Chain A
Amino acid sequence: MLSASDNEYLTRTGPETPMGQLFRSFSIPVLLSEEIPEPDCPPVRVSVLGQPLVAFRDTEGRVGVLDEACPHRTASLFFGRNEEFGLRCTYHGWKFDVGGRCVDMPNEPPTSTFKHRVRAMAYPVEERGGVVWAHLGARAGEEHTAQVPDLEWCLVPDSHRYITKVLVDCNYLQAMEGDIDSSHSAFLHSRPDNSIDRGSATQFRKEDLRRYSFQDRAPRFFTVQTDTGIMVGARRDADEQRYYWRITQWMLPTYSLIPREDGHLLQCNMRVPADDHRHWFFRTQYHPSRPLTSEELDEFRHGGNVFQDVLPGTYLPRQTLANDFLIDRDVQRSGSYSGIKGIPSQDQSVTITMGPIADRSREHLATSDAAIIAARRRLADSADAVAGGHVLPAPHDPRSYLLRAPALLLARDVAFDVGAAEAMWAARTEHDRAAAS
């Protein structure tokens, strides 16, 4: 359990909060590139870390992420006109470029220099992997060293990756904790007969070794700190010589690589606070060495089991608390453990129902929650450090994010991080080889 004050500390991410400062020391995902697909397209508004933002793509294709409020009278720039290298507020015609500079102030005399003294708050942005990343701790044009992490899915060709996002109605932390809770999948995402939930696992994901997860639902957990975050090993008996390990990589601030067997599609989850009661859930599936097939893309795009069905034209899930996530009690009796279609909705049925911010003073943590406890402590330590003026290395060391989360068999007398090293670092090896060729 956590005290109310510790819970507040970890869950509040506004600009003046320690955790907010931690997030603002990184470049983080703020929207998908597809949301602003072409030059001079309509701007979009997005809330991140409790900040109302507006994003637009200018005439040359450059992306701007600005505070939504116009610096003139604080009207919303979302209703602005995106035209000729800038976003123009419809209230009085003030126009701002992607760097936040006021480039036109038509209701002042043409010779006035006032426009040079007015600036919209704009943030440094970079597009990678189909995502617009922003560093909300700096102003566009200022020198900063926070870099977009070299997560492997950012480095593969677009054809090898599918990525989308949904808005989830709960604080980021309780959902992120689910990403590193390796024990829940053997229940929430399973069938009553202990087999993998075929209604949950994608038809393309038939991992041979996963059966061990359902044979042993009480694995032993091991965690080890890394410079980027925490490596979480869930160990189950396989045979007399080997253990079955599922190794989750949790990386600051809120990224999780989900364990996968070699050769399968790989997955990364990212939880970005929209505000303290909602978060953006970015999820990607990718293959490091081949394009996704049309069948895979078709399932992903139409809200299969790994991605959610959303309301048309939005990033809002169709299954919500308001409709009980469309639970089917007949299916729950005979088909799947949860009776809810799709892994993300299954997850949300347990995380959203904790409340907008889970009351952690009421919880009773077990040994299987060791990774959650460790991650909370790491987040708090990191926030403490940033608040104290310490510079974390992770935001400035993109390459440390270039790794994988393997699920594999290892000899019983081998440390999991040693035995799995080759599989974990294969991303780096393969990327270096490709870069050299």
Chain B
Amino acid sequence: MGCAHRARPRSGVVRLGEALAIPYIRGAEAVFDAATQAWLRRFEYAELPGCAVESDSAMEGMRALERARVRGILTRVAAGQEVPRPRPPLTGVSVSRQLDALGLAASRDLLEKSLADAAAAPELVALLRTLDGTREDRCRS
């Protein structure tokens, strides 16, 4: 099986910044791609269904996975879907700095918005559009 996790989902994420600070278990494994006859590095957040990437490079793969995680969460928020919350959001990380590191700019105002308000925010749509522009970090479903 994949990334063994049966952590009990919890509700209670109020703000977008909290949703982006939820820690998920990241799995890593080497996989053989029969199509290209090459070994790849596969990374996934199985608790965020469909969120997985494959890459030649472990560094690039993990970076792409982070973008895929952000994209997966924003997509859910935009669609009004629940964001899986297997464990509480982290308080010891700066979400805005993490987004910066991924080349994504998000205002403090957006991160402070409720999920419902964020869903309707043009800034979130713009973020998703930025993420849509990169093929390699799409969540595979």
Q: Do A381 and B97 touch (CB < 8 A)?
A: yes
Interface assignment of B53: CB less than 8 Å from any CB of chain A: no
Is B107 positioned at the interface, with any CB of A under 8 Å from its CB?
Answer: no
Identify the closest chain A residue to B41 (Cβ).
A367
Contact of B59 among A221, A373, A385 (CB under 8 A): A373
Flag whether B35 is at the interface (Cβ < 8 A). Answer: no
Asked if A226 meets B25 with Cβ closer than 8 Å, knowing A370-B58, A388-B97, the reply is no
A412: chain B residues at CB < 8 Å are 1, 4
B21 to chain A, nearest CB (A): 9
Q: A222-B3, A224-B23, A385-B97 are in contact. Are A366 and B41 (CB under 8 A)?
A: yes
Interface residue tally for chain B (C-beta within 8 Å): 32
Partner of A413, one of B4, B42, B43: B4
**CB contact under 8 A between A226 and B4, given known A1-B59, A384-B97, A393-B92:** no
Shortest Cβ gap from A26 to chain B (Å): 12
How far apart are B17's CB and chain A's nearest CB, in angstroms? 13
A370-426 contacts to B, CB under 8 A, are 370, 373-374, 377, 380-382, 384-385, 388, 390, 392-394, 410, 412-418
| Min CB gap B134→A, angstroms | 19
Interface string of B1-45 (1 = CB under 8 A from A): 101111110000000000000011111111000000000011100
Q: How far does the Cβ of A191 sit from chain B's closest Cβ, in whole Å?
A: 25
Chain B binding surface SS class: loop
List, in ascending order, chain B residues with CB within 8 A of A415's CB.
4-7, 25, 86
With a cutoff of 8 Å between Cβ atoms, the chain A residues found around residue B30 in the complex are 218, 366-367
Given the known inter-chain contacts A221-B27, A385-B97, A418-B7, please indicate yes or no for A227 contacting B90, CB distance below 8 A: yes
The reply to whether the CB of A369 lies closer than 8 angstroms to some CB of chain B is: yes
- What is the CA–CA distance of A228 and B58 in the complex, to the nearest angstrom? 24
Q: Please give, as numbers and ranges, the residues of chain B lying within 8 Å of A321 by CB-CB distance.
A: none
Q: How far is the CB of B92 from chain A (nearest CB, A)?
A: 4
Centre residue among A218, A243, A377 by max chain B CB count within 10 A: A377
Q: How many Cβ-Cβ contacts under 8 Å join chain A to chain B?
A: 108
Question: Is there a chain A Cβ closer than 8 Å to B62's Cβ?
Answer: yes
State whether A373 touches B92 (Cβ < 8 A): no
Q: Is the CB of B4 within 8 A of A243?
A: yes
- Cα A416 to Cα B25 with chains together (Å): 9
Which residues in window 31-76 of B have CB below 8 A to A?
41-43, 57-59, 62
Do A417 and B25 form a contact, CB below 8 Å, given A243-B4, A367-B41? yes
* Residues of the A chain whose Cβ atoms lie less than 8 Å from the Cβ of B91: 227, 393
Chain A residues positioned under 8 Å from B86 (CB to CB):
415
One of A222, A392, A410, A413 near B92 (C-beta < 8 A)? A392
Chain A residue numbers with a CB within 8 Å of B29 are: 220-221, 367
Chain A interface, number of residues (Cβ within 8 angstroms): 42
Contacting pair B58 A417 (CB below 8 A) = no
Residues of B within 8 A of A429 (CB): none
Q: Is A365 an interface residue (CB 8 A)?
A: yes
| B94 at interface by CB-CB < 8 Å | yes
Give A66 to B5 CA distance when docked, in angstroms: 49
Interface positions of B from 86 to 128, Cβ below 8 Å from A: 86-87, 90-94, 97-98, 101
Indicate which residue in B24, B28, B58, B92 contacts A227 across the interface (CB closer than 8 Å). Answer: B92
Nearest chain A CB to B133 CB, angstrom units: 23
Q: In the complex, which of the residues B23, B97, B101 contacts A225, with contact meaning CB atoms closer than 8 Å?
A: B23
Residue contact A381 to B25, C-beta cutoff 8 Å:
no
Which of B1, B7, B24, B92 is in CB contact (< 8 Å) with A394? B92
B45 to chain A, nearest CB (A): 10
Q: CA of A394 to CA of B42 in the docked complex: distance in angstroms?
A: 31
Least CB separation from B42: chain A residue: A367
A235 at the interface (CB under 8 A from B): yes
CA distance A432 to B52 in the complex (A): 40
Report the separation of the CA atoms of residues A222 and B7 in the bound assembly, to the nearest whole angstrom: 14
Taking the closest CB of chain A, its distance from the CB of B117, in whole angstroms, is: 24
Contact present for A413 and B97 (CB under 8 Å) = no
CB-CB nearest in chain A for B30: A367
Complex Cα gap A221–B5 (Å): 13
Does A416 lie within 8 Å of B90, measured CB to CB? no
Q: Is A223 interfacial (CB 8 A cutoff)? A: yes
CB neighbours of A226 from chain B (8 A):
23, 90, 92
B5, closest chain A residue (CB):
A415
CA distance A418 to B101 in the complex (A): 30
Most interface-central of A1, A367, A373, A418 (chain B CB within 10 A): A367
Closest to A227 in B: B92
Per-residue interface assignment for chain A, residues 6 to 37, with 1 indicating a CB less than 8 Å from any chain B CB and 0 otherwise: 00000000000000000000000000000000
A-B contacts besides A226-B92, A414-B5, A415-B6, 16 pairs, CB < 8 Å: A220-B28, A223-B25, A223-B28, A225-B93, A227-B92, A365-B59, A367-B30, A368-B28, A380-B101, A385-B93, A390-B94, A412-B1, A414-B4, A417-B25, A417-B87, A418-B8
Can you list 20 A-B contacts (CB < 8 A)? Answer: A220-B29, A221-B28, A223-B25, A225-B90, A226-B92, A367-B58, A370-B58, A380-B101, A381-B97, A385-B94, A385-B97, A390-B97, A393-B91, A413-B1, A413-B6, A415-B5, A415-B7, A415-B25, A416-B25, A418-B5
Sorted nearest first, the 8 A-B pairs with minimum C-beta distance are A415-B5, A370-B28, A227-B92, A225-B23, A367-B28, A365-B58, A415-B7, A385-B94
